[in-house]
Amino acid sequence: MVLKPLNPALAATFAPPVMEARRWLEGVEFAPGRPLINVSQAAPVAPPPLALRQAIAEAALNLPAAHLYGPVLGMAELRAELAAQWSAAYGGAIEPAQVAITQGCNQAFCAALATLAGAGDEVILPTPWYFNHKMWLDMQRVKAVPLATGAGLIPEAEAAAALITPATRAIVLVSPNNPGGVEYPAAVLRAFRELARQRGIALIVDETYRDFDSRDGAPHDLFSDPDWDEGFIHLYSFSKAYRLTGHRVGAIVASAERLAEVEKFLDTVAICPSQLGQIAALWGMRNLAGWVAGERAEILARRAAMQAGLTALPGWRTLGVGAYFAYVEHPSPLPSPAFARALVREAGVLVLPGTMFMPEGEGERELRIAFANIDVAGIGRLMARLSALTI
């Protein structure tokens, strides 16, 4: 049956990649001693630590306000906590009024873009891009302008400058990157900030994976500029640091004036962020710094195991590795969508093909491996299966 009428922009948007990949599992049976290794989605699968779960339960049982509508831009306490911690971490001055809490970082992106661009406008996305960013732009009939990154997957401001037109409204960067894993040097972010300021457009930096950056100290100095909020928009997710993926808690840091516009969007699509999720995020920020440091150390150990394992695989080439991801070039003659499907049957491995992160006709040799839900031993088993492939 064909649905009529149907929004043509939504109809033309590709299906959610993770859900599409899961459909490849239908009808496939995995031997008990050789279960599926699912490295398709970038999310921890373990629950939050017990103390955090207890804090959530306590609030659910004894705090009536946890079940009511709250402020559209989020709990005042959480906004203030993030402002204070980010000011200290980045060496800048961030006010609570410059922070908004959202239902996850995807909503933060959508809300930020809603204040910037409409049908016919353009937004520059480095490739490979995060597919949900591309999907939202497509749904809004905003043109995604691809910025090729080349070797090292690091974008260049000079190359972006050549893509700016009168219709350009923003440049979007993700660091550490999804899907590439690479960490953008501070000088690169600074160059993009200067370009955006010179050309009168916004710079959005999605730092969902900042808690797993391998570098010590602040990853950039953008907040140290006293006028940082003139066009710079920072996005964050609490989901990864505190294992709160199901609670959907993210943040936007931007000018108070822009957040007044964001409030219109959020009030329309969600009214307010999850109260229990915000309570959990606030408790985590105040109590789990040491635990998060341990999580970071574990992810960095997995990163090292991925790097070593891929280096030892004949014919495989690592394009980027970091945070939750390895972005690789595979040796099979099959294009990446067919190769990824074959991996389910032949190796019991579910990954996403590079075509899901690239403009049409690109990414045919590439795969994203998300290793957030497999430990170092699991990475060893993954490498053993990949090394035994004959496809």
pTM to 2 decimal places: 0.95
Measured CA to CA, the distance from residue 301 to residue 68 in angstroms comes to 41
Measured CA to CA, the distance from residue 250 to residue 102 in angstroms comes to 5
Element (H, E) at 113: helix 105-114
Handedness of CA 362, 364, 366, 372 (dihedral sign): positive
Residue 44, pLDDT score: 84
Residue 276, pLDDT score: 97
Question: Helix, strand or coil for residue 146?
Answer: strand
Q: What is the pLDDT of residues 313-350, one digit of tens each?
A: 999 999 999 999 999 999 999 999 999 999 999 999 99
Question: Any long-range contacts for 359-365 (C-beta under 8 Å, 24+ apart)?
Answer: 359/127, 359/146, 362/127, 363/128, 363/336, 364/335, 364/336, 365/329, 365/330, 365/335, 365/336
Q: What is the pLDDT of residues 48-83, one digit of tens each?
A: 999 999 999 999 999 999 999 999 999 999 999 999
Residue 1, pLDDT score: 61
The dihedral over CA atoms of 340, 344, 349, 353, expressed in degrees to the nearest 10, equals 10
Residue 369, pLDDT score: 98
Q: What is the pLDDT along the chain (391 residues), one digit of tens a residue?
A: 677 788 999 999 999 999 999 999 999 999 899 999 999 998 888 999 999 999 999 999 999 999 999 999 999 999 999 999 999 999 999 999 999 999 999 999 999 999 999 999 999 999 999 999 999 999 999 999 999 998 899 999 999 999 999 999 999 999 999 999 999 999 999 999 999 999 999 999 999 999 999 999 999 999 999 999 999 999 999 999 999 999 999 999 999 999 999 999 999 999 999 999 999 999 999 999 999 999 999 999 999 999 999 999 999 999 999 999 999 999 999 999 999 999 999 999 999 999 999 999 999 999 999 999 899 999 999 999 999 998 8
How many CB atoms lie under 10 A from the CB of residue 333? 8
Structure tokens at 293: 């440091």
Structure tokens at 53: 């779960």
- 50-287, what's its fold? Aspartate Aminotransferase; domain 2 (3.40.640)
Structure tokens at 41: 């989605």
When the pLDDT of each residue in the chain is averaged and rounded to a whole number, the result is 96
Q: Are the beta carbons of 351 and 18 closer than 8 angstroms?
A: no
Q: In what order do the strands lie in the sheet with 317-322?
A: 317-322, 325-329, 366-370, 352-353
Q: Helix crossing, 76-90 with 275-287: angle to 10°? A: 40
Q: Are the beta carbons of 156 and 187 closer than 8 angstroms?
A: no
The type of residue at 4 is K
- The class (CATH top level) of 8-47+291-387 is alpha beta
Contacts of 286 by beta carbon, 8 Å cutoff, 6+ apart: 81
Measured CA to CA, the distance from residue 170 to residue 201 in angstroms comes to 5
Phi, psi (degrees; rounded to nearest 5) at 62: -120, 0
Query: Domain residues of the chain, as ranges?
Result: 8-47+291-387, 50-287
Q: Which residue has the tokens 């970071």?
A: 296
Residue 45, pLDDT score: 83
Residue 43, pLDDT score: 82
Residues in the chain: 391
Measured CA to CA, the distance from residue 179 to residue 132 in angstroms comes to 11
Q: Of 336, 244, 291, 269, which Cα lies nearest the Cα of 56?
A: 244
Q: Are the beta carbons of 152 and 131 closer than 8 angstroms?
A: no
